[in-house]
Chains A and B, each alone.
Chain A
Amino acid sequence: MIFEGLMAICQPLTVLWIALGVAVGIIFGAIPGLTATMAIVMFLPVTYSMAASEGIAMLMALYIGGISGGLISAILLNIPGTPSSVATCFDGKPMANKGQAGRALGTGVVFSFLGTLIGIAILVVLAPALCAFALKFQAYEYCALALFSLSMVVALTGSDMPKGLISAVLGALLATVGLAPIDSRARFTFGIFQLNNGFALVVLLIGLFAISEVMSFAESVRKKQEYTVEQNVKMKGAGFSFVEFLAQIPNAIVSALIGVGIGILPGIGGGVSCMISYTVSKNTSRHRELYGTGIMDGVVASETANNATIGGAMIPLLSLGIPGDAATAMLLGGLMIHNVAPGPLIYEKNGAVVYAIFFSMLLAAVFMLLFMLWGMRFFVSVLKVPKNYLLPIVMVLCGIGAIGNANQVFDTYAMVGFGLMAYLMIKARIPTVPMILGFILGPTFEENLRRVSQLSSSDPFWNHPIFCVLILATVLVVIFSARANLRDAKREEELKNN
């Protein structure tokens, strides 16, 4: 299977698609407002007619390029190209202000590469182990796992817990549309046959992340947003010495481990991992007072962590079918379209595709390093691409993506509906990411809960230690997160009153 996977990736056309995916991903990552998720949305219809390994390899390349490209605008404009690069601004822009833009970019690129490699290494080791462990899962365990993953919503909703929970519950409600699990009775279809299969994940994601982004841009049309792009970026090699590289290795390893750890947790993603690793790096450094003034350490911490998150987010996606963030949720949609069912049996049923994913990630990381070290001038110039021309075409591609999902125009109506809903949610300050978790985990929870209700008389829950541990973990996560959220909310309220 390893050889099959390698062979699938070694095809010239696949290599070309990966290279194209990385380049487009970097461009999307670099332009503020366009994200890796949007790049994947846009190219999803392009992959419909490809072989599974070919199409998924391209989506992976877009993901890696998209996360990495964010550092360009973070360093040169002080605007993170993607949420994953927020912390890169803290030291990247001050470095650029000191005339070290090339050094900052080189540091970001090399440690993004290193972070991706560490993430892939951990993915390759952990995913099969988690799959082997998950093979022991039955209805009880899946039901508890879905509950545990949903409980993470409480942890990631920040100070406004009810709104985060509302988003997750809305996602779960939307997932009840269509045929019910187990007995296949139609629910909430209102006689519309296109709703019998329920809403497609891809269509929901397009509405949530692509349409709302275009509408956010539409809001700012009359506001003047002028920024000067530093065009004179000189890059000699990576911009730093080998000794400096070695000195950053411990910082990079800790940041990568944080990135992978955050990536594994459902629904959190690179935006949080770069902030946490930056804070950890700062708090454990001997020269913490220099953070924020333009030092390599800050860029290393942020960029290593956000790229390592990619590998981390792929672990639960491949082995349990639970996405780590919005981009991996999109990849889940891509896998489903190509008839690859993520879960404990993925190695047995689609082993070659899994290894193709690993090799494509490696190749994409190498392309990212080469493109960004030698093609930086080009990527800097794309920051000037007029978004008023680009976004309408992105919207059309999103529409094609929705149609191509099941070859029915009806899905575009749902896409617009979800877009409107996402825009109103953003206006009401209701986060949209928990909705994806609710949408994906809701059916898993329902199906297994109903199975458990059948089994409970003959097979009581105390025969399932994994179930008991997961339920206990869920209770602890909810209690501690709720306490932390309430404390944060109180602190915010006090600050406002003062």
Chain B
Amino acid sequence: MKNRDNYKMDIIPGVILALFSLFYMCQIPGIKIFKGLGSTPLNNHFVPWLWSGGLLFLSVWLIVRGILKYRRVKADGVENQGASLLSALADKREVILSFIALTLYVAFMNSVGFVITTTVYVFVQILLLTPTERWSRNIVPAAITALIAGCLLFYIFRSTLNVLLPVGLFGFGL
């Protein structure tokens, strides 16, 4: 199982990073070059080419290493059937839902406001980090914690420490 994981741990990131470096390379010609007084012989394209070329080289290295590992695993005949993608995703459901909750939180913070989005987010995140069999015991404490956190943090940071947290829908008198 470990060997199987090992070659996937090289090939998948390798492919993703290689595609990313190619995308990055495609953007480089679009950068405007400064040709006026004080321009440098190495222009602003050079270092992006250097880093993206380096990333592409390292990604290809990972892919080749992964393929070699795969061949060894195949030759040994020890390849295992791993879990399906769906079951792997289901196994990480708390992580996926946490990322979705966090994304929605920051996406709606500006329009809905810090207090409401924070209260909802903290409540949802507490439940996501709590085993489902303990939800019934935790719903009320989670709701109270979320409400206090949302209001208190807004008051402390917006009113006392002058951090420009979004006010959102209701204005809260500000």
Contacts and interface: CB of A to CB of B under 8 A. Distances in A.
Nearest to A392: B125
Contacts of B41: 453-454
A420 B162 contact: no
Contacts of B34: 182-183, 185
A173 B54 CA distance: 10
A420 B99 contact: yes
A419 B102 contact: yes
A176 B49 CA distance: 11
A381 B161 CA distance: 31
B83 interface: no
Contacts of A496: 2-3
Contacts of A399: 105-106, 109
A415 interface: yes
Interface residues of B, number: 67
B164 A407 contact: yes
B153 A169 contact: no
Given A162-B62, A183-B44, A215-B99, A391 B55 contact: no
A214 B128 CA distance: 11
Contacts of B138: 388
A180 to B, nearest CB: 4
Contacts of A387: 129
A166 interface: yes
Contacts of A395: 102, 121, 125
Interface in A422-447: 423-424, 428-430, 442, 445-446
Interface stretch (A44-52, A85-93, A350-358, A370-378): A44-52
Interface residues of A, number: 63
Interface in B44-93: 44, 46-48, 51-52, 54-55, 58-59, 61-62, 65, 92
A222 B166 CA distance: 35
Contacts of A442: 47, 51
B55 A392 contact: no
A413 B106 contact: yes
Given A176-B51, A400-B163, A403-B164, A412 B9 contact: no
Nearest to A449: B42
Contacts of A211: 102
A103 interface: no
**What does DSSP make chain A's interface, helix, strand, loop or mixed?**
helix
Given A185-B34, A218-B129, A451-B40, A396 B62 contact: no
Contact of B166 (A162, A185, A188, A409): A409
B12 interface: yes
Given A166-B58, A400-B153, A416-B102, A449 B47 contact: yes
A450 interface: yes
A187 B41 CA distance: 18
A388 B137 CA distance: 13
A205 to B, nearest CB: 17
Nearest to A415: B106
Given A388-B130, A409-B109, A169 B51 contact: yes
Given A173-B51, A183-B44, A217-B129, A423 B95 contact: yes
**What does DSSP make chain B's interface, helix, strand, loop or mixed?**
helix
A71 interface: no
Nearest to A398: B102
A442 B50 CA distance: 11
Contacts of A453: 40-42
Given A218-B94, A428-B12, A166 B59 contact: yes
Nearest to B40: A450
Contact of A407 (B51, B58, B105, B163): B163
A218 B161 contact: no
Contact of B157 (A222, A393, A400, A446): A400
Contacts of A182: 34, 38, 40, 44
A416 B130 contact: no
A446 B47 contact: yes
Contacts of A46: 161
Interface string B22-36: 001001000111100
B149 A169 contact: no
B163 A430 contact: no
Contact of A48 (B2, B105, B122, B161): B161
A345 interface: no
B44 A416 contact: no
A392 B122 contact: yes
A162 to B, nearest CB: 5
A221 interface: yes
B98 to A, nearest CB: 5
A369 B166 CA distance: 41
Most chain B C-beta atoms within 10 Å of own C-beta, residue among A219, A222, A396: A396
Contact of B129 (A162, A221, A423): A221
B171 interface: no
A45 B158 CA distance: 11
Contacts of B44: 180, 182-183, 185, 187
Contact of A445 (B9, B47, B48, B149): B47
Contacts of B94: 218-219, 221-222
B147 interface: no
A218 B54 contact: no
Contact of A188 (B27, B33, B39, B106): B27
Contacts of A388: 126, 129-130, 138
Contacts of B46: 449-450
11 contacts: A182-B40, A187-B31, A187-B48, A221-B130, A388-B138, A389-B126, A396-B121, A399-B106, A404-B163, A420-B99, A450-B42
Given A45-B157, A221-B128, 8 more contacts: A173-B24, A173-B51, A182-B44, A219-B95, A416-B99, A449-B47, A450-B40, A496-B3
Interface of B: 2-3, 9, 12-13, 17, 24, 27, 31-34, 38-44, 46-48, 51-52, 54-55, 58-59, 61-62, 65, 92, 94-95, 98-99, 102-103, 105-107, 109-110, 118, 121-122, 125-126, 128-131, 138, 141-142, 145-146, 149, 153, 157, 160-166
4 A-B pairs with least C-beta separation? A183-B34, A392-B125, A388-B129, A180-B44
